[in-house]
Structure 1
Amino acid sequence: MAKNKEKAGAGRTIVILLVVLLLLLTAGAYGYGVYYFSSHFLPGSMVNGFNCSYMASEDTEDLLNQRVGAYVLAVETMKNGQEAISAQDVGLSYVSTGIVKQLIKDQDRFTWFLAFNQDKNYDISESLSYNVELMGQAVDNLKCMQPENVVQPVDAQIQDTGDTFEIIPEVMGNALDRTKTEEVISAAMLRGKTSVNLENESCYRKPSVYSTDEQLKANCEKMNQLVKVIITYDFADRTETVDRTLIKNWFGYDEDGNVILDENLVRQYVADLGLKYDTMGQTRTFLTYDNRQVEIKGGDYGWVIDQDEEVKALIAAIESGVTQVREPVYLYSGYSRGTNDIGSTYVEIDLTNQRLVFYQKGTPIVDTPIVSGNPDIEGCGTPTGCYALDAKESPAVLTGEDYEANVTYWMPFAGNVGIHDASWRSEFGGNLYLWEGSHGCVNVPYDKAAEIYANIEVGMPVVVYE
């Protein structure tokens, strides 16, 4: 029994000794690992893409120096193209800054036994340097940078084919953003990457507008709608047509990029209409009652397009999509819209022969001698020109600085100058106006004034000449 107890005690002692020995060995191995990895990289350590596991700082720097010297970056371009830039091309070199030692010092060496399956990447690009000028030259020397190999991107756009507007698809091109390309390549080389894909790095310039762009499609559709409209201007014996040939040149864009009719371009067209068809103040060749041709200058009769309002109206008419015949918006209107805007109904006053003839639809209905203003007295001569009758008033009192006259029929055409009866006169015509002329008005016999008044309308032309 005693011998069995001794044997059991000896066995326990051996086990204890083995456990202690194992613990001592484990502690020694752990301590050695802590000590070793105080100056060496842990397993799975990558520096600038190079495996530096178990390496001391000096060995790591030697490796970096060797690898940097032989380093080549594969530059992948569009459509599986590939070029290369070497460390020598750009003067790439490793510069010891002490960062490798610092990385080893900062790693968690006390848990080294957990690092065997780690994947630790260190980026010490600041320890690499390159020649900026050489880098620029290397990038410029790439085949993908040569002008003969470059196609610039082109935006999708709307094009007039002659019959319709169509969207021409974008051109992707292969032009690189020079600045970004150099930045991407430089960064890749500093990080020791083996390759860089310029397309994946978004280095290629791209169109800003694609054929699938909803606004582009909407603009194209609107253009085709607007040019379908035909606007015909009616100028009596003449017409002007606004159709596709004009409208297509008036397109512009608002601040949001939507197609509009450019008001300035439409305004230019309306201004041209005014130059062609406005007649107020224009010199006219007039055929007199005795078949003489005289030039009529001045006066306030005629047509004037209201350009501001007509620009708005024309834009609205086109945008309505309705083909139509229309007249412009007028600021001033004449009595006849034909080329001869005086027409066939008018009052003709011949100052030299002191005669008034009133035509109605080409037929003289009043032909009478007159007494006009005295041209030898300042401010009393009857003004010449083509005027529009301003008003009709019956009876009326005419007043001036030194006179007051009661008349039955008053028909002003040039301010305070007009046609009226003159009951105080018994004679008309001849040269009476040279010594018994009026203050500027056209005096006519009472019965003639009544007949004129009964047939004349406000706005009718009154042609006065010498």
Structure 2
Amino acid sequence: MIKERVMLIMNPEFIKKHIKIILPAIGVSILLFLYLLGVWFFTNHFVPNTKVGSISISQLSVKNAQEMIQTELEKSQVILTEHDQEIGYIELSQLNVVSDTEQVLQQLLSQQSATKWPMYLFISPQGVDEIDEYVAFDSGKMEALLANIGVNNDEREASRDAYIGVNDSGVYEIKHEVYGQQISAISLENALESHIENGNNKLDLSTAYIQPTIHQDNQAVVDLQARLDQMQNVVITLEFAGNSVSIPQATVSSWIYVDDNQEPQINTEAIEEYLLELNREYASLFQTRELESTYQGLVTIEPGTYGWYIDRFTEAETIAADILAGQDVTREPVIGGSGYGLALSEDIGPSYVEVDIVNQMMTIYLDGEIALQTAVVTGTPGTNTVPGAYQVWNMEEDSTLVGYNPRTEQDYEQPVDYWIAFDDNAQGIHDASWQPYFGGDAYLQRGSLGCINTPPGVMPEVFNLVYYGMPVIIF
């Protein structure tokens, strides 16, 4: 039976009669076979038109695709240009380029449909467009490669952010950002990765220039400039002792600076120096005086520690706050010392201690009347008593004087019954039981280290007459 059917099918007459049916059947069978073969193949291989970046991985397994990508990356060569001129090239193999694509390839393979593989022959490429996140370079080699082709950042202009600076007139203004030509190795790597994606083999270095991050229209910069304008135009007027002093705008501007956090700050030390100059010009603390003395008539008194002055440390902080607030101010400064509001000829007052070095006499006046007079011993030549206008700031009983004697080159400790300090250099009035006599020329041979040596029998009364803040005038 079977033999007869085979003979029938092989019969030329039968074939001729049924050829229109046989040929399509064979064709369909072949196509079906090829289709099923493709389904089987593309279960473990990428379908046609599959790319990773610009690299085709069609018909490849995951492993072979990984190898293909790595090979193509290592073969890649990028020509570097600048200002339309070629300056060199970089081979990615020189950067130890490494691709890590196994996970994304496995995911891509699982997402494709093997049963639809013929369709992929006629559609746009599919796959992974961005490959940069799967590619890594040895960053340490980039700068060396750039140096090899003559790209040296040290010889290139650096970019600079917009900032607030001082012009030739001493006024703050916005300094525009500068676009330099220094190369960012990281930006160049990113640009290379982008070129890998699109297959472009030329790269303009300008795409990797380090860019300024703060521009002239940055709102923080604009706001800071507006605030600085307000601050440097502040008018601060100090009124004291019948004087009115407006601080010059240029001076105010010179005190303003911008810190690393782009915050306006004030140089209080510079303000203190300015106030010191004002004190030297106006404050009685720094002025010479004239005094009608007991034994010499009219004498000139040098400055000392007595008198009024602008408290430059406290006032500097106040002025700094005024500038930061950006508000015009007219006020009296913070005053320290004694005698403020009195004329220089009157600020000592009617009660004071007078020490006449020439005559070696100390006179105490109370309310304009002599309350006590005594001979004294002042500083010997070399450790002179320093002339000037002072005031009592400390009084002690049963005190011990300690210090260094430059004449004997030894430290000393000297007990005294009474101690009245009047300056900031350890000068004072005290009893001196070791002195055989007082007055005359005793100070030339047995003079003190600058203090006013006073007879022990007189010193208790001196201590009772003198009070804190009392002027001590030495000439």
Asked if Structure 1 and Structure 2 have the same fold, meaning a TM-score greater than 0.5 normalized by the shorter chain, the answer is: yes
Q: Which residue of 2 aligns with 1:223?
A: 228
Give SS of 1:170's match.
coil
Q: Which residue of 2 aligns with 1:171?
A: 178
Q: Which residue of 2 aligns with 1:87?
A: 91
CA distance in 1, matches of 2:49, 2:102: 21
CA distance in 2, matches of 1:128, 1:162: 53
Counterpart amino acid of 2:160?
P
CA distance in 2, matches of 1:341, 1:356: 16
- Residue identity over aligned pairs, in percent, reads 17
CA distance in 2, matches of 1:212, 1:264: 33
Give SS of 2:336's match.
strand
Q: CA RMSD in A?
A: 5.8
Q: Which residue of 2 aligns with 1:302?
A: 307
Q: Which residue of 1 aligns with 2:4?
A: none
CA distance in 2, matches of 1:128, 1:228: 56
Deviation of the 1:31 alpha carbon = 1.9
Q: Confirm or deny that 1:120 pairs with 2:126.
A: yes
Counterpart amino acid of 1:207?
P
Residues 192 and 224 from structure 1, CA distance in 2 versus in 1: closer, same or farther, beyond 3 angstroms? closer
Gaps (5+ residues) in structure 2?
1-17, 356-360, 378-386, 398-419, 422-454
Q: Confirm or deny that 1:109 pairs with 2:114.
A: yes
Deviation of the 1:94 alpha carbon = 10
Please, which moves more after superposition, 272-281 or 39-48?
272-281
Counterpart amino acid of 1:244?
Q
Deviation of the 1:108 alpha carbon = 4.4
- Alignment of structure 1 residues 56-71 onto 2, 5 Å: 71=76
CA distance in 2, matches of 1:349, 1:62: 103
Q: Which residue of 2 aligns with 1:440?
A: 462
Number of aligned positions between the proteins = 380
Question: Do 2:164 and 2:172's aligned partners in 1 also have CA atoms closer than 8 Å?
Answer: no
Q: Deviations over 1:291-331 (max 9, x none)?
A: 25365797x7422433453124323544454364x542113
Residues 281 and 273 from structure 1, CA distance in 2 versus in 1: closer, same or farther, beyond 3 angstroms? closer
Give SS of 1:181's match.
helix
CA distance in 2, matches of 1:355, 1:461: 10
Question: Do 1:374 and 1:437's aligned partners in 2 also have CA atoms closer than 8 Å?
Answer: no
CA distance in 1, matches of 2:27, 2:205: 58
Residues 388 and 100 from structure 1, CA distance in 2 versus in 1: closer, same or farther, beyond 3 angstroms? closer
CA distance in 1, matches of 2:134, 2:389: 94
Give SS of 1:248's match.
helix
Q: Confirm or deny that 1:248 pairs with 2:253.
A: yes
CA distance in 1, matches of 2:26, 2:240: 121
Counterpart amino acid of 1:32?
L
- Picking from 323, 328, 333, the partner of 1:322 is 328
Q: Deviations over 1:16-39 (max 9, x none)?
A: 989876764443232233355468
Q: Which residue of 2 aligns with 1:3?
A: none
Question: Do 2:143 and 2:185's aligned partners in 1 also have CA atoms closer than 8 Å?
Answer: no
Q: Deviations over 1:190-219 (max 9, x none)?
A: 668324756897x33222322112232233
- Alignment of structure 1 residues 113-192 onto 2, 5 Å: 113-116=118-121, 117-121=123-127, 136-142=143-149, 145=152, 147-162=154-169, 164-182=171-189, 184-185=191-192, 187=193
Question: Do 2:256 and 2:266's aligned partners in 1 also have CA atoms closer than 8 Å?
Answer: yes
Deviation of the 1:44 alpha carbon = 0.8
TM-score, normalising length: structure 1 = 0.57
Question: Do 1:76 and 1:195's aligned partners in 2 also have CA atoms closer than 8 Å?
Answer: no
